[in-house]
Amino acid sequence: MTERRKIQAEDLFKLKSVADPQMATNGMDCVFVETKMLEEENKYASNLYYINIHEKQKPVQWTYGENRNHSPRWSPDGKMVAFVSDREGKGQIFVLDIKGGEARQLTKCPNGAANPVWSPDGTKIAFNAALKDGEAIFVNKSDEKKEKKPLPLEVDKMRYKSDASGFWEGNYNQIAVVHVQSGEVEKLTEDTHDYQLQSWSPDGAYITVTADLNEEKDHSYQSDVYLIQANTKEVKKLTASTGYFGHVTWSPNGKYIGMLGHESEYKNATLAKIWIYDMEAEMLRCLTSDSDLLIGDYAIGDFQQGAVTPGILWGEDNHSFYFLATDHGNTVVYYGTLDGEIYPALLDEQHVYGLTTGGKVDYAVVAISKPTHPGDLFLLNVTSGELEQLTNVNEEILQEIVLADVESIEFKSSDDWDLHGWMMKPANFKEGDKVPLVLEIHGGPHAMYANSYFHEFQCLAAQGFAVLYINPRGSHGYGQQFVDAVRGDYGGKDYEDIMDAVDYAVAKYDFIDENRLGVTGGSYGGFMTNWIIGHTNRFKAAVTQRSISNWISFYGVSDIGYYFTDWQIKSSLSDIHTLWKHSPLAYVDEMETPLLILHSEKDFRCPIEQAEQLFIALKDRKKEAKFIRFPEANHELSRSGKPNLRISRLNYITNWFKDYLK
């Protein structure tokens, strides 16, 4: 038998991601999205695949080509699938007959269309479209050919840019409806607000949307749920502008509306809960108010493409439902009822990043990833808890490479808090070896490392590094008090948690060479990397990614800076002293660790000036530092950036640690 080789950064081109499974109401037919990276074209390709979950046959490819085909949604009768494709340029809505034939394009929106939702009778599809005020829903062919000239950007509001979409160009996210047979399109909303389409009521009378309809948006941080009468366009508000609500779904009889959300008691650190709106009583109640469980998938990773977190998935009895929850390093499938019963239906060391039931209660299709398994679809027998694998998309490469195993660790912080994380030994580790250790720190800070595949970690392990990663205070998955504890204390107990983890690892694992320690992280993890090397010389090398170095300038340059700073540091420009005290740049004179700075040119979340300030300050003091700038990339480089840049980033990280820790 040929010995398996170690994984490389470039193996991303061979690995495939499967996501967004969608089961038809017959409980048998399932469609999903498979995404891969194309090396020569330097882009991603996504296509739809079909599988009958009971026949267990090999999945059948339904769409082809080198475009992005995604967001498949079954018609109510299960005879057609609507999806989004960019085969004509910008993403548009297409429908595909399951009997075969070419996909038929339904929309020709000037800025694309997204998020298809079928009407209950299957004659219409609602969707989202970004439009300027008064702009037509159809592409004007004469305008399509005109060369676009650069124009000045007029800014009169604070929220004029976002990391996801760049500078605001005057588009508002509207709701429209297209007739499947005729192709006729009508706008359901057309004002100067952004609407997010959610779901259609079983009787066809209402469409649920979420929006913030406050006129002054710069200091409004909410998302309300609205009912729009499909015929009259009359609008009714269901939530009380107290927080953030979404993921709206209807019970089959139309009597109840389920939603996920919170009332922002702890700003963006507030746990999402399950809420139920009773249509007859016209009353909203929180079903999980007494629970410390976080509803939804908040696990962080660098591999899956197009993962979708569903809301609550109702059963045919109009009383029970399934949902995902984030809990102690795992994402779990839970079962719940209107009576408030909640218990796990699939509890394991795993990351469930997709869930669909087709409205059934006996079976579900789940997308699962584990540290040594990038991700596949499985059939869950809810009664027995048994899992049966439906896809094996990475079988070929997984037989070719060796992946490093991980061990879960639990320990006490210096102030007696329970902490949880993982230790990954180097690939092909041999007893008696002494190896360098790389500490990884996640972003957020309100996110969670999980029992999930992480390509960066595996690449480091393949190069002979042990990898330590934990969920310090501020992480999701360990209750409300734990996630809120970081706010106002950046560089405090969170820093101590991380250093406690290093102490624990060095004491427990005799294979770690404590004289060869490295540290890296991105976003908040980049902030913490900067903070660490300004407060200890224990690490021999560091890589800071898309980081924060100066909270004073971050306040004005980040797309979220002016309110995120208030929420997280609990300070503003009226208290420069506090902002500077929490800024790693303030401690640059103490930084002695060789530092590699990685940052994207179009990062609007943590703008590149944060990296520039740190780099210049270090070089001016004759410190050892190197700065790598990634063009045409934003804050999401490590997860969804240009393939060649993702590979370069991984190689920069591993090579820096090889140079300084080997």
Residue 382 has pLDDT above 60, yes or no: yes
Q: In this predicted structure, which of 140-149, 176-185, 312-321, 459-468 has the lowest mean pLDDT?
A: 140-149
Average pLDDT, the chain: 96
Q: Exposed (0-12), middle (13-18) or buried (19+): which is 397, by Cβ within 10 Å?
A: middle
The confidence score (pLDDT) of residue 649 equals: 98
Average pLDDT over residues 172-179: 98
The confidence score (pLDDT) of residue 139 equals: 78
The confidence score (pLDDT) of residue 226 equals: 98
Q: Please report which confidence band the pLDDT of residue 662 belongs to, taking 50, 70 and 90 as the band edges.
A: confident
SS3 annotation, 216-248: CCCCCCCEEEEEEECCCCCEEECCCCCCEEEEE
Report the alpha-carbon distance of residue 185 to residue 198 in Å, rounded: 18
**What angle do the packed helices 493-508 and 524-533 form, to 10 degrees?**
70
Domains and CATH numbers, the chain: 398-661 (3.40.50.1820)
Residue 469 has pLDDT above 80, yes or no: yes
**Options 75, 369, 452, 523, the catalytic residue:** 523
> Considering the entire predicted model, what is its pTM?
0.97
Question: Residue holding tokens 């004659």?
Answer: 123
pLDDT per residue as tens digits for the range 64-99: 999 999 999 999 999 999 999 999 999 999 999 999
Q: 56: which residues sit within 8 A by CB, 6+ positions away?
A: 388, 390
pLDDT per residue as tens digits for the range 573-590: 999 999 999 999 999 999
pLDDT per residue as tens digits for the range 499-549: 999 999 999 999 999 999 999 999 999 999 999 999 999 999 999 999 999
CA angle 154, 159, 162 (to 5 degrees): 100
**Options 70, 262, 455, 635, the catalytic residue:** 635
The confidence score (pLDDT) of residue 145 equals: 55
pLDDT per residue as tens digits for the range 281-338: 999 999 999 999 999 999 999 999 999 989 999 999 999 999 999 999 999 999 999 9
Average pLDDT over residues 603-631: 98
Residue 562 has pLDDT above 80, yes or no: yes
The confidence score (pLDDT) of residue 2 equals: 72
Q: Exposed (0-12), middle (13-18) or buried (19+): which is 86, by Cβ within 10 Å?
A: middle
The confidence score (pLDDT) of residue 3 equals: 86
Q: 205: which residues sit within 8 A by CB, 6+ positions away?
A: 229, 230, 231
Residue 144 has pLDDT above 60, yes or no: no
Our answer to whether residue 574 is catalytic in this structure is: no
Average pLDDT over residues 6-13: 97
Our answer to whether residue 635 is catalytic in this structure is: yes
Q: Please report which confidence band the pLDDT of residue 142 belongs to, taking 50, 70 and 90 as the band edges.
A: low
The confidence score (pLDDT) of residue 416 equals: 98
The confidence score (pLDDT) of residue 246 equals: 98
Average pLDDT over residues 104-121: 97
